[in-house]
Amino acid sequence: MSSQQSSKKKGNHPARFHYEFAGPYLGPLGMIIGLPVITFLYSKYCTDQGWPVPSLTLEDLTPQKILSEFIASFKMEVFMVYVAYWLYQAALYFVLPGIKGKGIKLSDGSQLEYPFNGLLSSLVTLTIVLGIHFTDFFNGKYNLDWIADNYLPLTTATVVFSVAQAIFLYAYSFSGKKLLAVGGNSGNYLYDFFIGRELNPRVFGLDLKYFNELRPGLLQWGIYNIAFAYKQSKLSPNGLPDAWMILVVIFESYYILDAVMNEPAILTTMDITTDGFGWMLSFGDLAWVPCLYSLQARYLSTRYHSLSTFTDFLYLAMVIVLGVLGMIIFRGANSQKDQYKRDPNHPSVKKLETIQTQHKPLLVGGWWGKARHINYLGDWLMSISWSLPCGFGSPLPYFYPVYFAVLLVHRDMRDEEKCAAKYGKAWQEYCRRVKYRIIPYIY
Ligand code: NDP
């Protein structure tokens, strides 16, 4: 959503400044305050006692009360455990083996190198987390129960850490000669802090944006899910989580694994190529993703519900079909485009119809002939299938698909704008031939 546009040249960074997210003040300020508040309220008032807890009153939602409860939920020990976890992930980035690959050519002609060891890093971390749990390594202290029980102070730790990182990133972007993000170089302090000023901040060789995108937060989401499944299994007569929990954990683990297994593909996404690294991605990657994306498993962790009726089985089957359909569309579309970009003569893509452009051709056949962001549809269908296992006792576990629909529609608008500027007439031709944005025949 662009609220204002102007063109100017800043320092040696030619930039077309373009305020997004209802910037420069309203949107950024609203998100910098509003998103941590949502994250905190979910963690504090959706608990084993209820979603929301029955004792919640309007008084609890006043700014003073939220702030005082937020401060009270900070636990130094938990914060230090989180910092250790983040640093440990950073250490794995350097020490684990993995091939290296280059990102796209940057506007200054350079090309950065990245390690592709995210999958190995996730597997090693998971082994260690489970190892600590099953061997009671710290006398039971940091096992899966501890993670589930300390969810609220962990949320607070991620919020504090992500904001501290964003402040660091903003200050760091002024040190030395840096390549700035075109959209984060406006000169408006608040907006640049929010959207991210420097394109690829690196500290001692650690590419902070690339690292944050796929490692600490994403994996924390997976660890939370396992901790909540373990918690639920204690309610079960057979010591196993119920089918709903197993489904949520499998579906969401697939998503996390898919992201880290396709780590090189992130190098061509908007987040890496275009956006700077500031509050938005720092908070999103470290606090929002683990806290809000694990809602379903957290909701289910205190509700054991075995499959007993025919309706239960039918409902479960429908959820599985929906989730698998989403996966097929999501992975099919993303892989098709990725394959085409890497090798247009590959047998799986060489017969697809394309439109010639002054850059690489645009796919107009296959998945990309169904809707211009058909991959978003697959992603959204998956998000619904993650919440449906929670049933209809509370609307609150459905936050993720609702928020995600807003994110994807907005992201589609940003990308359409980018592609229209990049491809010109060829993009118009693509829009003429493929009329729908995300959902064929509907939108
Ligand atoms: P896309 O993977 O859809 O990439 C868009 C880019 O692809 C365009 O900018 C253009 O880039 C290129 N492109 C678009 N149309 C065509 C075409 N017809 N033929 C060839 N190239 C085309 O965008 P995202 O980076 O937004 O999303 C990647 C995935 O990540 C999606 O599946 C999305 O759902 C998911 N996602 C998940 C989020 C989450 O929180 N769970 C958040 C955001 C995204 P160019 O031509 O310049 O290469």
Q: How far is the CA of 94 from the centre of ligand 1 (A)?
A: 28
Which of 158, 123, 160, 300 lies closest to 228, judged by CA? Answer: 300
Q: Which two tokens stand for residue 183?
A: 């959209």
Q: What is the pLDDT of residues 335-375, one digit of tens each?
A: 999 889 888 999 999 999 999 999 999 999 999 999 999 99
Largest CA distance in the chain: 68
Shortest-distance atom of ligand 1 to CA 333 = 32
Tokens 């910037």 locate to: 23
Residue 208, pLDDT score? 98
pLDDT-above-90 percentage for the chain? 88
Count of other CB atoms within 10 angstroms of residue 339: 16
Residue 158 near residue 83 (C-beta atoms within 8 A): no
Question: How far, in Å, from the CA of 375 to the mean position of ligand 1?
Answer: 8
**Ligand 1 atom closest to Cα of 340?**
20
* CA within 13 Å, CB half, 382: 23
For the stretch 282-339, pLDDT in tens is 999 999 999 999 999 999 999 999 999 999 999 999 999 999 999 999 999 999 998 8
Type of residue found at 331: R
Ligand 1: atom nearest CA of 373 is 3
Q: Cα-Cα-Cα-Cα dihedral of 14, 274, 30, 71, to 10°?
A: -110
CA distance 339 to 323: 23
| Nearest alpha carbon to residue 431 among 418, 420, 442 | 420
C-alpha–C-alpha distance, residues 391 and 393, integer Å: 6
pLDDT tops 60 at residue 251? yes
> Mean of the pLDDT values across residues 18-42?
94
Residues 6+ apart with CB under 8 A from 249: 225, 226, 229, 241, 297
**CB neighbour class for 34 (10 Å; exposed up to 12, middle 13-18, buried from 19):** exposed
Q: How confident is the model at residue 189 (pLDDT cuts 50, 70, 90)?
A: very high
Q: Which two tokens stand for residue 346?
A: 């590959």
Tell which residue, 184, 238, 241, 223, has the closest CA to residue 88. 223
- The model's pLDDT over 140-164, given as tens digits with 9 standing for 90+, comes to 899 999 999 999 999 999 999 999 9
Nearest 5°: the CA angle 14, 19, 22 is 170
On whether the CB atoms of residues 193 and 279 are closer than 8 A, the answer is: yes
Q: Which of 286, 334, 379, 403 to mutate to test the pocket of ligand 1 (most atoms within 8 A of CB)?
A: 379
> Which residues pair with residue 167 across a beta bridge?
none
Do 278 and 195 form a contact (C-beta atoms < 8 A)?
Answer: yes
Average pLDDT of every residue of the chain = 94
Q: Is 80 helix (H, G, I), strand (E, B) or coil?
A: helix
Residue 11 has a pLDDT of 43
pLDDT digits (tens, 9 = 90+) for 370-404: 999 999 999 999 999 999 999 999 999 999 999 99
CA distance 199 to 179: 6
Q: 3 falls in which pLDDT band (50, 70, 90)?
A: very low
Model-level pTM? Answer: 0.93
User: Alpha-carbon distance 322 to 341, whole Å?
Assistant: 29
What is the model's pLDDT at position 316? 97
C-alpha span between 239 and 179 (Å, rounded): 54
Q: Coil, helix or strand for 225?
A: helix
Distance separating alpha carbons of residues 229 and 225, to the nearest angstrom = 6
Atom 20 (ligand 1) nearest CA: 362
Distance separating alpha carbons of residues 366 and 273, to the nearest angstrom: 25
Helix, strand or coil for residue 30? helix
The predicted pLDDT at position 352 comes to 96
Q: How confident is the model at residue 16 (pLDDT cuts 50, 70, 90)?
A: low
Q: Which of 260, 251, 261, 191 is nearest to 401 (CA)?
A: 251
Q: In this structure, which amino acid lies at residue 52?
A: P
Task: State the pLDDT at residue 371.
Answer: 98
How many angstroms does the Cα of residue 175 sit away from the middle of ligand 1? 32
Contacts of 353-357 spanning 24+ positions with Cβ under 8 A: 355/426, 355/429, 355/430, 355/433, 356/426, 357/423, 357/424, 357/426, 357/427
Residue 57's contacts (CB-CB under 8 Å, 6 or more residues apart) are none
| Alpha carbons 90 and 86: distance in angstroms, whole number | 6
Q: What is the pLDDT of residue 18?
A: 73
Give the pocket of ligand 1 (CB within 6 Å).
268-270, 330, 334, 337, 362-363, 368, 373, 375-376, 379, 411, 415, 418-419, 422
Query: Ligand 1 centre from 357 Cα, in Å?
Result: 18
Helices (H), 136-207: 144-149, 151-172, 189-195
Among candidates 224, 10, 14, 263, which has minimal Cα distance to 121? 263
Give, as one character, the DSSP assignment of residue 303.
-
**Distance (Å, rounded) from C-alpha 103 to C-alpha 111?**
6
Residue pair 155/278 in contact (Cβ under 8 Å)? The answer is no
What's phi and psi for 209, nearest 5 deg?
-70, -50
